[in-house]
Amino acid sequence: MASLSGQIARRAARWIPPGLARNIAGPAAVFFHGVELPSSAPGLENIHHRADIFFEIAQSLKRHFDVLPLSAMAEARKNPSRHRHALFITFDDGYANNLHVAADILGGLALPWTLFVSTHHIESGERNPAFLARLFFRYAPDGDYTIPHFGRIILGTREQRELQVDTSLNALKFFNAARAKQSLDAMLESFSPERLEQLLEQFPSEKFLTWAELASLARRGVEIGAHAHSHWPMHAGQPREYLTEQARLPRQLIESHVGPCRFFAYPFGNQADVSSEAWRAVRDAGYDFAFTTVSGTLTASANPWLMPRYGVGMEETKLASMIGLLRANNARLISWQRGLAPVSA
């Protein structure tokens, strides 16, 4: 969900002519997750753009921006006035629908893009933890559950379930990875193996790519970057050893299976999801740049391992004005980056 300031900016952008916004724009990056047919369960498959809407978005980006490969980012940051209309398209997680739907649309328009993958999910096929938690709150049998680190959870009416899901997911995100896994394992034990398998097959948009499929995308020119090993926040509650592994291991795996891995994107990626230890771990693992999900433009003064990106809304087809306004958030972005310690630290 967009922040209040983000919602206000999106409303304002509707009334600003694209030409005017382009005059104040700077190089920027945007991100998506997946591209699918219309969802049968919006509350679960809520991060995948419909294919027809994504095609319209991609056409708009091609029309209004200079869409560049991520390898050109260093130059765009160095000379932002020369590259004020530069745009970098990225996708997160590594969903299987990227193989055909997203890749075919972007390939047909000759638009370069980068895919950030969480390598544990590529290796195991295990679904995104946030998705699995939503399965529990929506589909677990009615009952009174005791979940580690949560305590008592009562599931009954649909209204009762919906009231709990967002609050509980927010709490789960701020557990360290070990505690979160204990909680999630207990949630999934509410299903029989057969019922869980049935539910997973019901939502194909949540399936992940395989290594062979990733290699196929790389051969088509898609840049493959790291999205940590497990898709879980790299916040201050995580042990240093965990953060080091989340930065180091995906690069090793991607390079052994696919090819060079120069770029990183933090899971979730909001201010509360990235710690000072996390960006240092990413820097020390050898990545050229790393991306958050905090909005802003790509400037030379920003920390290279805490770069901004803009998350495109599900029906946000007219982006020229909105992307032109992103530089308004740069002061907030730089203030947050400095609060996590200077680059030289």
Q: For residues 50 and 71, give the distance between their C-alpha atoms in angstroms, rounded to a whole number.
A: 28
Q: For residues 82 and 141, give the distance between their C-alpha atoms in angstroms, rounded to a whole number.
A: 58
What is the pLDDT, as a whole number, of residue 219? 97
- 16 or 54: which carries more pLDDT confidence? 54
Tens of pLDDT, residues 207-241: 999 999 999 999 999 999 999 999 999 999 999 99
Q: For residues 239 and 223, give the distance between their C-alpha atoms in angstroms, rounded to a whole number.
A: 30
Tens of pLDDT, residues 244-283: 999 999 999 999 999 999 999 999 999 999 999 999 999 9
The answer on pLDDT for 46 being more than 90 is no
The answer on pLDDT for 340 being more than 70 is yes
Q: List, in order of start, the domains of the chain with CATH numbers.
A: 4-125+208-339 (3.20.20.370), 129-202 (no CATH)
List Cα–Cα distances, 180 to 60, 122, 149, 176, 338, in angstroms: 40, 20, 8, 6, 29
253-271 burial, b for 16+ CB within 10 Å, e for fewer?
bbeebbeebbbbbbbbbeb
The answer on pLDDT for 3 being more than 90 is no
Pairing of strands 28-32, 310-311: parallel
Pairing of strands 151-155, 143-147: antiparallel
The answer on pLDDT for 39 being more than 60 is no
List Cα–Cα distances, 166 to 162, 238, 265, 292, 301, in angstroms: 8, 21, 23, 21, 36
132-165 burial, b for 16+ CB within 10 Å, e for fewer?
bbbbbbbbbeeeebebeebeebebeeeeebeeee
246: alpha, beta or left, given left = phi > 0 and alpha = psi -120 to 50?
alpha
What is the pLDDT, as a whole number, of residue 160? 86
- 20 or 188: which carries more pLDDT confidence? 188
The answer on pLDDT for 117 being more than 90 is yes
Amino acid residing at 276: S
The answer on pLDDT for 113 being more than 90 is yes
What is the pLDDT, as a whole number, of residue 6? 53
Q: Is 41 within 8 Å of 344 (Cβ atoms)?
A: no
Q: What's the chain's average pLDDT?
A: 91
What is the pLDDT, as a whole number, of residue 344? 59
Handedness of CA 79, 82, 85, 90 (dihedral sign): negative
Tens of pLDDT, residues 291-323: 999 999 999 989 999 999 999 999 898 788 888
The answer on pLDDT for 134 being more than 90 is yes
The answer on pLDDT for 9 being more than 50 is yes
What is the pLDDT, as a whole number, of residue 4? 46
Q: For residues 92 and 224, give the distance between their C-alpha atoms in angstroms, rounded to a whole number.
A: 10
The answer on pLDDT for 18 being more than 90 is no
Provide φ and ψ at 261, rounded to 5°. -130, 105
The pair of structure tokens assigned to 285 is 């693992």
pLDDT-derived band of residue 1, with 50, 70 and 90 as boundaries?
very low
- 1 or 200: which carries more pLDDT confidence? 200
Provide mean pLDDT across the span 46-58.
93
Q: Which of 15-24, 112-121, 171-180 has the lowest mean pLDDT?
A: 15-24
